Amino acid sequence: MFNFGTGIIGSLFKIIKMIAEVGVSVGALALLGIYTYQNKLIYPASMNDGHGYCATPDEYEMPNYESINLITEDGETLQCYSIKHDINSINYSNKTVLILSPNAGNIGHALPIVSIFYNQFGYNVFIYSYRGYGRSTGTASEHGLKIDAQRVIKYLTEEDEQYQQSSIVLYGRSLGGAVAIYIAATMSQAISGLILENTFLSIRKTVPHVFPLLKYFTSFVHQNWDSEKLVPLIPAKIPVILLSARNDEIVPPSHMDAIYSRLKSEDKVIYKFENSNHNDTVIQPQYWERIQQFIQDKVNPVGY
């Protein structure tokens, strides 16, 4: 008589339960999607025609370049450009800039920047595509990109005599900054200077800023790039310059401030570009002057 189980309240209960279950399923599916497809979100290697045409250094007045393919220990092939100055020139700088690319496009797109380091400043430049990007094989992942970094550092410090002698400076923008921090923290003996631009403490701490709805689900981020943990491991003797866009719409500028304060470097400086967004810092006034000054004055041999 008082059994509401099959009455209106029972039906209502069933409907609510069903909605809840559907909701949970949709939510679970979405999270499964985030879990499964985050590599595609975090490493959009096809964006900006990344797998399309790849310009070569001779198109930017760097005819003496080599195209090199490095094979990683797990069998991937990394597409690299190696651009060296004449070691016998009287003004040879003995410095090499290793460019750690930001997240989209291919190494051809970076050639205007390569040309500044090489033609205007006189430094050797080595640049490579992470696995899955450009003409490199495989698919991108944090684990894979770290193997790639190890391979490149091995080449520069053990397999090529000219690079081996030179002082290596890392230039990392955004995701490239995370790779640079990884190298400086774990292969520090190879490194004489570190340039970081608009990079993050970790992907988990960046996600809520880009996708506010995901702020409760950051534990699903398995591609974390925990720079926050690695930064204090960078030896104090490595000089560091940080270039921070204060209107960065992707990485909160507070991340750069926190990286700056966590760095143990005895010689660190942060420049803040008030009117700059995530990707236009390279065209801000004083950007290149500050970088050149840093490499000349803080990296051995000083003055070149």
Ligand X SMILES: *[C@@H]1O[C@H](CO)[C@@H](O)[C@H](O)[C@H]1NC(C)=O
Residues that bind ligand X (CB under 6 A): 87, 89-92, 94, 122, 165-166, 279-280, 283
Shortest reach from residue 119's CB to ligand X, in Å: 8
What are the residues whose beta carbons fall under 8 Å from the beta carbon of 88, sequence distance 6 or more? none
Shortest reach from residue 89's CB to ligand X, in Å: 4
Shortest reach from residue 147's CB to ligand X, in Å: 28
Shortest reach from residue 273's CB to ligand X, in Å: 12
By beta-carbon proximity to ligand X, the closer residue of 103 and 224 is 103
Which residue in 235, 231, 227, 292 sits closest to 267, CA to CA?
A: 235
Burial class (CB in 10 A: 0-12, 13-18, 19+), 90: exposed
The C-alpha angle 23, 41, 35, rounded to 5 degrees, equals 45
Antiparallel, parallel or unpaired: β 65-71 and 167-173: unpaired
What are the residues whose beta carbons fall under 8 Å from the beta carbon of 124, sequence distance 6 or more? 83, 84, 85, 93, 95, 96, 97, 118, 162, 163, 166
By beta-carbon proximity to ligand X, the closer residue of 166 and 244 is 166
Shortest reach from residue 121's CB to ligand X, in Å: 7
By beta-carbon proximity to ligand X, the closer residue of 182 and 294 is 294
Shortest reach from residue 90's CB to ligand X, in Å: 6
By beta-carbon proximity to ligand X, the closer residue of 15 and 283 is 283
If you search the block for the tokens 């570009």, which residue do you land on? Answer: 273
Q: Which two tokens stand for residue 147?
A: 């193997």
By beta-carbon proximity to ligand X, the closer residue of 103 and 166 is 166
Shortest reach from residue 143's CB to ligand X, in Å: 28
By beta-carbon proximity to ligand X, the closer residue of 90 and 302 is 90
Give the span between the Cα atoms of 195 and 259, in whole angstroms: 12
Give the span between the Cα atoms of 135 and 153, in whole angstroms: 19
Is the bond preceding 301 in cis, omega lying within 30 degrees of 0? Answer: yes
Give the span between the Cα atoms of 184 and 235, in whole angstroms: 8
By beta-carbon proximity to ligand X, the closer residue of 220 and 304 is 304
By beta-carbon proximity to ligand X, the closer residue of 247 and 261 is 247
Give the span between the Cα atoms of 126 and 71, in whole angstroms: 16
| One-character DSSP codes across 45-64 | TTGGGTTS----GGGGT--S
Shortest reach from residue 87's CB to ligand X, in Å: 5
